[in-house]
């Protein structure tokens, strides 16, 4: 407990405490990690400080080199960003060049044992874009695309942040500052430590072991790999579409194949993805049929990164704040969007309200609470999706309703819109959930459940015939 107060600070937020801490000229800030959260924080912070005429130094600690191909430069991610986020960032002055954002994806194709359906982009601002977090997979040829994370870090550096290419091994409260120590034994003291290490970092364990009051985020293991198929094959077999699978595989919440140039990225999200789950996924006919000759090719690189499924507690202390994945993020979707929101809110709190626990409590924690509350609704939505995964009759109804909507584009796209926002993370889970309560949505779904199951066959754009459906073992 005593030690806990050391890390989080004695001034644990209470409404009554007075905040004596604000930044002044010459103050120094350490940002630990230059993923999207760390770099965007530095960018926003330096912008706002400049506006206030505040001369504050920002050091970003990041050992990774985003110009490297393979694991050394990669921050493990599907790399899907919604067009609305791309546009939002542009309004903040973060104009991602075409070499960073590929706007090649025009639709989602949903694959189920009962058939497939392609869901076209509902609106222009709802388009999805693909990015590479590093500079391409291991052993790949130099790409004509550039690293998203590298670009953001460059932007922060241009604003004046100093990059320190070191791994941070500890952060401790000492007197009136936060001491940041590195693996090479170097250390420095700062007025504020911004932890943006994501959830795949040992530092979170170290911080948790220092204090009984701090709990790092709860995590689960995912799987991600890259297949090299070549542009022409990808164009023919995948088209400009992200392929999403709704399969009856326990613990699998989301599976997608995302075409990117010569490569296709596979992302499996769920409850501790393991070999057994992957075997089931790769042996599913809906998955094999996606690949040329129905054969799953070897992948050029793979990893099992973790994702945050419950936020850190608390996400702030005196002179300390956790942003992005290592604080609060959106469940399964739009982690980059959450990194943007949390980094901006934390920067604003620090510049305009100071670096006390009270300032972060009042001006940063409410955003994290909103994200957490929305994730609770998200959990409910995913539980419902799990039921659909198990119920073939429900899959038939959903497939038929979506396919009908895609053919009659002038009628309301209720199911298509819900699925789009669920896959892309373009809308909050609460918004998606509320739309599923609309009487027209419920009525239409019920009608499709009945009629599709009376017909009993496969529907959809490119699904095989009824006979083939019988071969599916689920």
Ligand X SMILES: Cc1cc2nc3c(=O)[nH]c(=O)nc-3n(C[C@H](O)[C@H](O)[C@H](O)COP(=O)(O)OP(=O)(O)OC[C@H]3O[C@@H](n4cnc5c(N)ncnc54)[C@H](O)[C@@H]3O)c2cc1C
Interface residues with ligand X (CB under 6 A)?
A: 32-38, 61-64, 75-81, 167-168, 196-198, 201, 203, 222, 224, 267, 305, 307, 324-325, 329, 334-337, 339
* Residue burial 392-430, b: 16+ Cβ < 10 Å; e: rest: bebbbbbbbbbbbbbeeeeeebbbbbbbbbbbbbbbbbb
46/42 Cα distance (integer angstroms) = 6
Tell me how far, at minimum, the Cβ of 346 lies from ligand X, in Å. Answer: 11
- For residue 158, the tally of other CB atoms under 10 A from its CB is 10
Please state the φ and ψ torsions of residue 280, each to the nearest 5 degrees. -65, -40
Q: Measured from the CB atom, is 167 or 385 closer to ligand X?
A: 167
Phi, psi (degrees; rounded to nearest 5) at 386: -65, -35
Task: Report the interhelical angle of 335-353 vs 365-390 (nearest 10°).
Answer: 170
Residue 183 CB, nearest distance to ligand X (Å)?
Answer: 8
Measured CA distances, 297 to 38, 264, 291, 293 (Å)? 36, 11, 8, 10
Compare residues 269 and 399 and give the one whose CB is closer to ligand X.
Answer: 269
Nearer to ligand X, 270 or 397 (CB): 270
**Minimum distance of ligand X from residue 308's CB (angstroms):** 7
Contacts of 218 (CB under 8 A, 6+ apart): 308, 309, 310
Q: CA–CA separation, 5 vs 32, rounded Å? A: 21
Indicate the residue among 115 and 327 with the shorter CB distance to ligand X.
327
Nearest residue relative to ligand X (C-beta): 335
d(CA 418, CA 152): 31
Packed helices 335-353 and 36-51: angle between N→C axes, nearest 10 degrees: 30
Query: Any idea of the CA torsion for 370, 79, 94, 55, to the nearest 10 degrees?
Result: 70
- Shortest CB 115 distance to ligand X, Å: 25
Q: By C-beta, is 431 or 462 nearer to ligand X? A: 431
Q: Provide the minimum distance between the beta carbon of 51 and ligand X in the complex, in angstroms, as a whole number.
A: 24
- Per 3-state DSSP, what percentage of the chain is helix, strand, and coil (rounded to 5)? 40, 25, 35
CB 404, min distance to ligand X, A: 29
- Nearer to ligand X by Cβ, of 36 and 397: the residue is 36
Nearer CB in complex with ligand X: 167/391: 167
CA distance 279 to 288: 12
Closest contact distance (angstroms) between CB of 176 and ligand X is 23
Q: Dihedral angle at the C-alpha atoms of 255, 260, 264, 267, nearest 10 degrees?
A: -30
Nearer to ligand X, 302 or 474 (CB): 302
Q: Which is nearer to ligand X, 61 or 291 (CB)?
A: 61
Asked, as a colleague might, if the bond just before 468 is cis with ω within 30 of 0, I would say: no
Nearer to ligand X, 22 or 187 (CB): 187
Cα–Cα distance between 165 and 458 in angstroms, integer?
A: 55
Q: Report the DSSP pairing between strands 263-270 and 223-228.
A: antiparallel
Residue placing its CB nearer to ligand X in the complex, 108 or 460: 108
Shortest spacing between CB 245 and ligand X, in angstroms: 15
Cβ of residue 457: shortest distance to ligand X, in angstroms?
A: 33
Please state the closest distance from residue 296 (CB atom) to ligand X, in A: 18
- Residue 380 CB, shortest distance to ligand X, in Å, is 21
* Gap between the Cα atoms of 273 and 223, Å rounded: 6
């Amino acid at each position: 407990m005593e030690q806990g107060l050391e890390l989080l600070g004695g001034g644990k937020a209470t409404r009554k405490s007075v905040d004596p801490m604000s930044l002044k000229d010459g103050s120094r800030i350490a940002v630990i990690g230059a993923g999207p959260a760390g770099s965007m924080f530095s960018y926003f912070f330096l912008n706002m400080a400049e506006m206030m005429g505040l001369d504050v130094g920002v050091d970003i600690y990041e050992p990774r080199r985003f110009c490297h191909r393979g694991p050394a430069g990669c921050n493990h991610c599907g790399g899907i960003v919604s067009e609305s986020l791309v546009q939002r960032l542009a309004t903040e002055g973060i104009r991602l060049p075409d070499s960073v954002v590929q706007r090649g994806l025009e639709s989602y194709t949903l694959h189920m044992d009962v058939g497939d359906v392609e869901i076209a982009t509902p609106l222009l601002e709802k388009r999805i874009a693909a990015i590479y977090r590093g500079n391409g997979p291991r052993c790949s040829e130099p790409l004509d695309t550039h690293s998203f994370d590298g670009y953001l870090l460059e932007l922060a550096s241009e604003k004046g942040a100093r990059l320190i290419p070191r791994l941070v091994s500890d952060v401790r409260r000492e007197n009136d500052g936060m001491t940041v120590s590195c693996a090479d034994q170097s250390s420095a003291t700062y007025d504020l430590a911004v932890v943006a290490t994501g959830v795949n970092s040992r530092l979170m364990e170290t911080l948790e072991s220092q204090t009984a009051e701090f709990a790092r985020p709860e995590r689960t293991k995912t799987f991600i790999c890259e297949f090299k198929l070549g542009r022409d094959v990808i164009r023919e077999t995948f088209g400009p579409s992200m392929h999403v699978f709704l399969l009856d595989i326990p613990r699998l919440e989301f599976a997608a194949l995302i075409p990117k140039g010569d490569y296709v990225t596979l992302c499996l999200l769920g409850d501790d993805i393991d070999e057994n789950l992957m075997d089931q996924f790769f042996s599913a006919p809906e998955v094999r049929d996606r690949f040329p000759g129905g054969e799953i090719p070897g992948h050029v690189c793979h990893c099992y990164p973790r994702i945050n499924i419950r936020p850190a507690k608390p996400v702030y202390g005196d002179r300390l704040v956790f942003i992005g994945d290592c604080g609060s993020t959106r469940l399964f979707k739009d982690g980059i969007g959450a990194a943007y929101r949390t980094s901006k809110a934390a920067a604003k709190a620090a510049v305009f309200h100071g670096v006390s626990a009270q300032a972060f409590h009042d001006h940063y924690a409410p955003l994290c609470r909103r994200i957490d509350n929305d994730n609770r609704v998200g959990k409910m939505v995913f539980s419902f999706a799990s039921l659909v995964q198990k119920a073939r009759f429900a899959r038939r109804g959903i497939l038929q309703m979506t396919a009908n909507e895609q053919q009659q584009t002038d009628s309301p796209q209720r199911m298509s819109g819900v699925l789009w926002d669920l896959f892309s993370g373009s809308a909050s889970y609460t918004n998606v959930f509320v739309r599923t309560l609309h009487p027209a949505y419920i009525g239409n779904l019920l009608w499709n459940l009945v009629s599709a199951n009376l017909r009993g066959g496969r529907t959809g754009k490119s699904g095989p015939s009824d006979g083939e459906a019988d071969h599916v073992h689920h």
